[in-house]
Chain A
């Protein structure tokens, strides 16, 4: 009887692998692509050196007033001098440590959730979500337990942006998930309710919603009852973003095969356990890119609160550039704003990519 002899593996041709192979395949794979590569290099040469020149080499770094902005490039003295206002708005100077402490507590408190070896993430996370908002309210607003009150009308800057974004995200995600489940419910009343809610909030612009919340809502509230302006804004952001999250999550729910529901049901799991243990963990993992997309949009949309007279990060910069003592500094101000927004959004995006990789279990539906 013959025995088949298998051929040994051969190495790949040298020009198809390694850095040389990569260059050939990606940058110079034909005359047209070579042309594009060269054009790209030329554009980079034209744009990047002058930018570095303006932002770093020719820039003013030291000084205290407008008069110190003497050189050709950017004048970062402006940003340095107004940094406190950009970060805290009109929060009293001697109380700003409270904001720093709240941020520090958030970072320290949330840190265990990012440690892979920590086992009780869910329980800890829920406890954190319950305790931290109360703690943050006490620190930021105060008025009891030994801290003097700082009304929300004095909040501003990056701090206000982060507060609105964080509350918006923390509120919109669970509400959005419930709406998505409700929209797929077998119970007609719940389904109609959820569809109506989602379609209403998706159909109006956020700026209109915010405007209505400050102009119309007080008309409907009973005499003497006055809902805090910031609270109203946060409520509107939550309701508005929840409708978007709901549709993103619904997309994920639809991608889960029927067999997963059946397997869960066949074991005797009820609706909430089936959803919570089997369906949602998979659906939410699938829609991480969509959810993060919504969160990033939310983070940037917070600057729309200017319409109801709240001064978030972007608007405190805008206001500072209008200061007669610092005329002509708007470029520096907006570049600074762009950089800060970009750092936050890029951070969210990187984290979501890491999360996706960590949740990857080698399965394709």
Chain B
């Protein structure tokens, strides 16, 4: 075991630790003193009104956004300007985007083998085996040789999940994965995410799917104006919210 890896009181490894993280866009203070600890296998849902900084928070974890103050540690390794270190952390942290961001010039299979071949240096055959394994997990192995442009939104998002899993990441970040989908396709993506949660993956999901939060999350975090306002287990969060702002938000989205 890596002695540098921080531990909680109960002795579990911390996968992510954010300590007093602050971020500004120009003069605009987007993240204010964010403190967050994520243990191995934890499934966290982050919700909040738009512009509350929830996407920015998870994008700081793989350094798609740079924070200006505070510390972020992923598996005990601090994110600094060191590019090699950033790339090493990114290869261990999978991300799924709102708009899928599949590579349109590559087939589904090539989308899934690209990073394993070029970052992990897997031979093509092995990378393709891994890719087919995860494409079967998300239940679209038959689309492997199609291009993303030929798939529905729900199928594309499932490919994006498989693509991230092909790197065998230790943490998965989801940035509003169902917000750009037609209502008919939300369920197939959520089912894939639930199956992934059941396999023990550490997950951070920014989402408005409260049903998903109820069934899957260990912890729900509510953010507003760049701050974590409240965090609790789903039962407490939905039925006994402590904060007035949380109550107002829940009242608006749960009708």
Contact = CB atoms under 8 A, between A and B. Distances in A.
B157 interface: no
A121 to B, nearest CB: 15
A362 B97 contact: no
A359 B101 CA distance: 19
Contacts of B103: 260, 263-264, 278, 282
A265 interface: yes
Nearest to B84: A270
A277 B118 contact: yes
Interface string A249-281: 000000001011011111111100100011001
B104 interface: yes
Interface in B104-121: 104-105, 114-115, 118-119
A123 interface: no
A359 to B, nearest CB: 7
B150 A362 contact: yes
A363 B90 contact: no
B194 interface: no
B115 A262 contact: no
Given A262-B64, A363-B148, A363-B149, A268 B115 contact: yes
B20 interface: no
B87 A268 contact: yes
A357 interface: no
A277 B149 contact: no
B104 A259 contact: no
B83 interface: yes
Contacts of A259: 97, 99, 101
Contacts of A257: 99, 101
Given A361-B147, A362-B147, A266 B104 contact: no
B147 A363 contact: yes
Interface in A232-255: none
Nearest to A258: B101
Q: Which of under 10, 10 to 19, 20 to 34, or 35 or more describes the interface residues of A? A: 20 to 34
A266 B95 contact: yes
A202 interface: no
A267 B96 CA distance: 10
A268 B101 contact: no
Given A262-B64, A363-B149, A269 B118 contact: yes
B88 interface: yes
Contacts of B88: 268
Contacts of B57: none
Interface in B97-155: 97, 99, 101-105, 114-115, 118-119, 147-150
A261 B119 CA distance: 16
A229 interface: no
A364 interface: yes
A141 interface: no
B105 to A, nearest CB: 5
Contacts of A267: 90-91, 114-115, 119, 163-164, 167
A361 B105 contact: yes
B228 to A, nearest CB: 23
B62 interface: yes
Nearest to A281: B105
Contacts of B119: 267-269, 273
A263, A278, A285: residue with the most chain B Cβ atoms closer than 10 Å: A263
B90 A361 contact: no
Contact of B64 (A266, A268, A270): A266
A361 B83 contact: no
A281 B164 CA distance: 21
Nearest to B92: A268
A270 B163 CA distance: 17
Contacts of A361: 104-105, 147-150
Contact of B105 (A266, A269, A270, A359): A359
A149 B90 CA distance: 57
Interface in B185-241: none
20 contacts: A259-B97, A259-B99, A262-B64, A263-B95, A263-B97, A263-B101, A263-B103, A265-B62, A266-B95, A267-B91, A268-B90, A268-B115, A268-B119, A269-B114, A269-B118, A277-B118, A361-B150, A363-B104, A363-B147, A363-B148
Given A281-B105, A361-B104, A365-B104, 10 more contacts: A262-B97, A262-B101, A263-B102, A263-B103, A265-B62, A267-B164, A268-B119, A270-B87, A363-B105, A363-B147
In order of increasing CB-CB distance, the 6 nearest A-B pairs are A268-B91, A363-B149, A363-B104, A362-B149, A263-B101, A267-B115
